[in-house]
Amino acid sequence: MSTISKSVLAVILGGGAGTRLFPLTASRSKPAVPIAGKYRLVDIPISNCINSDINRMFVLTQFNSASLNKHIKNTYLFSAFSTGFVDILAAEQTPENSGWFQGTADAVRQSLRHISNHDFEYVLILSGDQLYQMDFTAMFKAHKASEADISIATIPVAEREATEFGIMKTDAKNFITSFIEKPKKDVLADWVSDTGAEMQQAGRHYQASMGIYIFSKKMLYHLLNEVHPQATDFGKEIIPDSIANYKVVSFQYDGYWTDIGNIYSFYEANLALTQDIPPFNLFDHTKIVYSRSRMLPPAKISGTTLEKTLIAEGSIINASRLEQCLVGIRSRIGAGTTIVNSYVMGNDGYETIEEMTSDDFKGIPRMGIGERCFIKNAIIDKNCRIGNAVQINGGDHLANTDHPLYAVKDGIVVVKKMAILPDGFVIG
């Protein structure tokens, strides 16, 4: 067993109600949202931990956690000879606390009673809604070498992004000397950092917090229970105060990282995977993304022109053209259909021939996407039934709206989970 696996325990924050990702979070928590056609968002931090030899993890959640619980239970099964685990810690009423998690710090504080049952020296705190591939071993080594109380992973960002993050400045030894939460543009000139020649050449002059922290065990307990017993948030309360009073060090990460905070960022991050050289590399065998093993047949494609498209296993594609698309597991797409710049999440099961015949008799579209459809700039959630000759044309010309069958956010049409769009239905 390596030093990091014996010393470090990871806590993955499931986030709040996920309102900015609605309607994808209408019936599931943010970490359970399907990504890249076959994974869940929570698979990203868990996989980063496993690849860094950290195999003891807690996932903290409180909203719509049933599908997340099921996914983790069916996916992360460690050997009986291993100490590894991925456990869900949901908000619970106790004699000491009868409320929900009030924020990131409060969630960890309420979970300490369970975390304390394990032997560890450091706690790695992660977000459950970010897309990145990071080796935490390097961060852990830097934390120990600097004898820091807290390490914060930071990423260089440009001016247009800096106002959305907590921005910090460091000294020559990477210790953080000052911090500001979401600064206004008129003060950004005072927050420029030496991010390195390559980052500066790209216009990325500001050190932004990634919401990834390493705490020594004693410091975490001290801050949450003694110094800030009422604090609810790490980024807004714990971290700013700690910079002035403790040894807080920055660990700069120069790779790809994006926060899946809203529908547009979710859409962009998924479609970026279709690029010839995507910023997030699913094909790197040293940075495997783990997920549930499914015994599915290979995808079957007939008569379809494919351009920059990823297709997950178990799919049956008879479409005319798919361009810059992600097609999730068990998808069915009918003949003559064109789909552009879209993410089709797929289905949780197959319909039998008898069930399809029954659908036709009842006048209900079969599960999947029918024939002669045109779909552009869209996210099709799981288990949808889209009839023949359906037109979905997302774009800036559409106003934000929330329809019983779909939502429009920033020009992206999101067809809701299990929605039924009849033949000839038009959006946009």
> 148-199: per-residue pLDDT in tens?
999 999 999 999 889 988 899 998 889 999 998 889 998 998 999 989 999 9
Structure tokens at 12: 């993955």
Query: Domain check: are 354 and 400 in the same one?
Result: yes
If one counts every other C-beta atom within 10 angstroms of the C-beta of residue 374, the result is 17
d(CA 170, CA 179): 9
Torsion sign across C-alpha atoms 140, 233, 199, 44: positive
Q: Is residue 331 part of a domain?
A: yes
Structure-block tokens of residue 264: 């547009």
- Whether residues 217 and 306 share a domain: the answer is no
Pair 33, 40: CB distance under 8 Å: yes
Q: CA triplet 317, 322, 328: central angle to 5 degrees? A: 60
Contacts of 119 (CB under 8 A, 6+ apart): none
Same domain for 267 and 360, yes or no, is no
Amino acid 96: pLDDT: 61
What's the number of domains the chain is made of? 2
| Contact between residue 314 and residue 330 where contact means Cβ atoms under 8 Å apart | yes
**Residues 34 and 82 placed together within one structural domain of the fold:** yes
**Which of 257, 272, 287 marks a domain boundary?**
272
Tell me: do 422 and 372 sit in the same domain. Answer: yes
Q: How many residues does the chain have?
A: 428
Residue 292 lies in a domain: no
Residues 223-243: pLDDT tens digits?
999 998 988 889 889 998 899
- Alpha-carbon distances of 360 from 254, 334, 353, rounded to whole Å: 53, 14, 11
CA distance 196 to 212: 21
The C-alpha angle with vertex 194 and arms to 186 and 179, in degrees rounded to 5, equals 55
pTM (2 decimals)? 0.93
CATH code of residue 60:
3.90.550.10
Is 402 in contact with 369 (CB distance < 8 Å)? no
| 200 shares a domain with 339 | no
How many CB atoms lie under 10 A from the CB of residue 151?
Answer: 26
18 class by beta-carbon count within 10 Å (0-12 exposed, 13-18 middle, 19+ buried): buried
Token pair recorded at residue 105: 């710090």
Q: What pLDDT digit, counting tens, does each position of 262-303 carry?
A: 999 999 999 999 999 999 999 998 999 999 999 999 999 999
CATH of the domain at 325: 2.160.10.10
Is 291 within the bounds of a domain? no
CA distance 43 to 51: 12
Residue 23: asked if its preceding bond is cis (omega within 30°), the reply is yes
Q: Which domain holds residue 36?
A: 3-272
- Is 189 in the same domain as 305? no
With a pLDDT cut of 90, the percent of the chain lying above it is 69
Q: What is the pLDDT of residues 71-96, one digit of tens each?
A: 998 899 888 778 899 988 876 655 56
pLDDT in tens, 360-403: 999 999 999 999 999 999 999 999 999 999 999 999 999 999 99
Are 200 and 311 members of one domain? no
**Nearest one of 84, 398, 417 to 426, comparing CA atoms:** 398
Q: Which amino acid appears at position 17 of this protein?
A: A
pLDDT at 233 (0 to 100): 86
Q: Minimal CA–CA distance to 127: which of 97, 149, 107, 98?
A: 107
Q: pLDDT for 113-158, tens place per residue?
A: 889 888 999 999 999 889 999 999 999 999 999 999 999 999 999 9
Mean pLDDT confidence for 213-218: 95
**Among 236, 256, 272, residue at a domain's last position:** 272
Cα atoms in the Cβ-side hemisphere of radius 13 Å centred on 336: 9
Answer yes or no: do 244 and 338 share one domain. no
What is the distance between the alpha carbons of residues 428 and 407, in angstroms, rounded to a whole number?
Answer: 12
Three-state SS string over the chain comes to CCHHHHHEEEEEECCCCCHHHCCCCCCCCHHHCEECCCEECCHHHHHHHHHCCCCEEEEEECCCCHHHHHHHHHHCCCCCCCCCEEEEEECCCCCCCCCCCCCHHHHHHHHHHHHCCCCCCEEEEEECCEEECCCHHHHHHHHHHCCCCEEEEEEEECHHHHCCCEEEEECCCCEEEEEEECCCHHHHHHHCCCCCHHHHHCCCCEEEEEEEEEEEHHHHHHHHHHHCCCCCCHHHHHHHHHHHHCCEEEEECCCCEEECCCHHHHHHHHHHCCCCCCCCCCCCCCCCCCCCCCCCCCCEECCCEEEEEEECCCCEECCCEEEEEEECCCCEECCCCEEEEEEECCCCCCCCHHHHHHHHHHCCCCCEECCCCEEEEEEECCCCEECCCCEEECCCCCCCEECCCEEEECCEEEECCCCEECCCCEEC
Question: Do residue 256 and residue 304 come from a single domain?
Answer: no
